[in-house]
Structure 1
Amino acid sequence: MKIDILTLFPEMFSLFNESIIGRAKEKGLFDINPVNIRDFSKDKHRKVDDYPYGGGSGLVMSVQPIRDALKEIKKANGGPVIFLGPKGKTFDQNTARRLAKEDQLIFLCGHYEGIDERLYEDIDEEISLGDFILTGGEMAAIPIIDSILRLREGVLGRDESSVEESFSENLLEYPQYTRPEVYEGEKVPEILLSGHHENIRQWRRYQMLMTTKEKRPDLYAKHQLSKDDLKILKKFFKDQEK
């Protein structure tokens, strides 16, 4: 996967050289190329913004440097142009899955009061991280790109490791435990020590369903209960009545 990022702060994306993502990058599973928008400014001071017509507070990112940067990037990257902005649809796991299928992506990180409206002609999709304000689009781009990359084959090292994670089916992940078996009087659930794989699977599924229903009822409402889910819920409800 090839990802170009139009940004005023290219150095912020050095964190993709670290940890699991960094190792995947070293293997050549993806390429991230931060592009400094200022490099395309025709202003002698490398200016990339100006005051808005009609008055108002703040500055607006100018058309010229961004459009020229996009023209240059598109010579080698034919992927969709994604703007990180407040008017976009809120990012979620389904969007991550969709974008992970692309082989090329271009991200535009906004700043100040936003971008000149004429730049929307160059943008294929606008995405928001949520209903809150950040200091710049880089802060939104980093988690979004991370969530996309980890869905690419080989990035996590074990393809199955992302199957039962939170949000995979509009469900939160089940509780996890590790050694020691008992710590300060708190014990690991007996069923996880039983060695009975089917019972463990059912317990974990039940925990996913109940945890989501309690903590994220909005997600639970979106989840379609399967026949297996109904069977598991019935089983554990009966066990609790005993």
Structure 2
Amino acid sequence: MKFISWNVNGLRAVVKKNFVQTFNDLDADFFCIQETKMQAGQLELALPGYHQYFDYAERKGYSGTAIFTKRVPLTVSYGIQSAEFDHEGRAITLEYPHFYLVNSYVPNSGAKLKRLDFRLGWDAAFQDYLTRLNQDKPVILCGDLNVAHQEIDLKNPQSNHHNAGFTDEERQSFSRFLRMGFTDTFRHFYPDMTNIYSWWSYRFHARDRNAGWRIDYFITGNQLVDKLNDAKILTDVFGSDHCPVELITPEL
């Protein structure tokens, strides 16, 4: 099975940049997107053969997630079962007979870390949610998790230790999450690979210089690790300031 995750930085915008052709070319069983930046009824997307699920933020033009899947889920839920955090359209969970698929757009800590406390609160609630799911059946989590975990996960670690996405607090939170029984699938297959990223600032020709960050992930419950085939970062796909990431598994 093929899983794709992509922060599109505005679904209506990326549709004008050949999104449908890219979507068809990738031919995923599950295609998860983040930062849709839209409300219900603002876009009708014809994707034959796919069921579509959207979680919209209350604030217009902000955040938002979606999953397009060839496979009808047993159940669909939105948010992370937290009144404090479920108003920004940041998570969708699809349940299947042998796993849960969770697509998430994790909050950014913001300029001058003004949302760091909110972000860390989200992390705690989200990790509790995922751990409870993973005790029932294996979890496949994907999305823009807004953290570069290790120094090899961004081009310039030394100058970013106090910036959103690379603070000690965020990185330690991510480490704690993995210790709860989860695996970063890309690092499972490529533990030492450097100079490969999934997000580049639009400023200073960052993508041309490959001055990026790896902040988009597929994370699985440890019980799935031996069944995985590969995890990739599709750096040759354009249309957003992020590129898609991919997970390949056998039939689960």
Q: Would the TM-score normalized by the shorter structure come out above 0.5?
A: no
TM-score by length of 1: 0.30
Larger Rg: 1
In terms of fraction of residues, the more helix-rich structure is 1
Point out which structure has higher relative CO (alpha carbons under 8 A, 6+ apart).
Answer: 2
More strand by share: 2
